[in-house]
Amino acid sequence: MSGEAAYVLRRGDETAGAVLVKHLRTDRTAVVYARRYDIDGEIVWERATGEAPVSDSEADAYIDRRVKSDGDLWAVEVESRADAPPLTDL
């Protein structure tokens, strides 16, 4: 799909740390998704910033707060016209 781009916002530890994906939408709102594992060890993506999109600055502030508590955290930003980035289970 045209108009998509992805950027590494923060490099974490190569073998540990949480993974956040910030989906920046065309209306300049965002949703931050957090990776977790279910009971079977499968990756599940959860909306970390809630059900409704938040402002771009609110999404960045959420990521900044998480980095303060997890120095190993990875953060990626995806700019996309789609409703959600191409992640598993969304």
- Arithmetic mean of pLDDT, 23-36: 93
* Residue 21 contacts residue 89 (beta carbons within 8 Å): no
Map tokens 């909306």 to a residue. Answer: 47
Residue 8 structure tokens? 């590494």
Confidence band for 80, pLDDT divided at 50, 70 and 90: confident
* Residue 48 contacts residue 34 (beta carbons within 8 Å): yes
pLDDT the model gives residue 5: 87
* Residue 54 contacts residue 65 (beta carbons within 8 Å): no
Domains and CATH numbers, the chain: 5-79 (3.40.1530.20)
